[in-house]
Amino acid sequence: MQSSATVLVYSDDANTREQVRLAAGRRPATDLPPVEYAECATLPAVLARLEEGGVDACVLDGEAVPAGGMGGCRQIKDEVFECPPVLLLIGRPQDAWLATWSRADAAVTLPVDPVDFPDALAELLRARLSVEA
């Protein structure tokens, strides 16, 4: 098992980024390594951070402005080689079809649920880390 996993969190709202960190905690599941967070408030910052490499999963806020996480997800799936899995935060359950359009690997609704969110993130990290091993 690697020593840590890096999760990129994108939202223009600092409170949303904090909800993500608090819900997942230092370790979203006991079988995973500790998580380090890379926070981004703009889509250009997300693209720059992904270019650096070493990101194991992305959490994108579908409600972010001016560049939403749904369009951002679709963009990174097209442009980033071996794009990490994406967990999309959506405003309503009815927006799940938009998450599918954006090619997100999973979606959960806002506000961040302290049970559903870490479970969804853990599934993405397990899949990514088992492929890298």
Q: What are the structure tokens assigned to 132, written together? A: 């890298």
Torsion angle of the four alpha carbons 112, 49, 43, 14, in this order, in degrees rounded to the nearest 10: 40
Helix, strand and coil percent figures for the chain, each rounded to 5: 45, 20, 35
This prediction's pTM: 0.96
Question: Which pLDDT belongs to residue 1?
Answer: 63
Judge whether 108 and 116 are in contact, CB under 8 Å. Answer: yes
> Could you report the per-residue pLDDT of 4-35, keeping only the tens digit for each?
999 999 999 999 999 999 999 999 999 999 99
The backbone torsions φ and ψ at residue 64, rounded to the nearest 5 degrees and listed phi first, read -65, 150
Domains of the chain: 5-132 (3.40.50.2300)
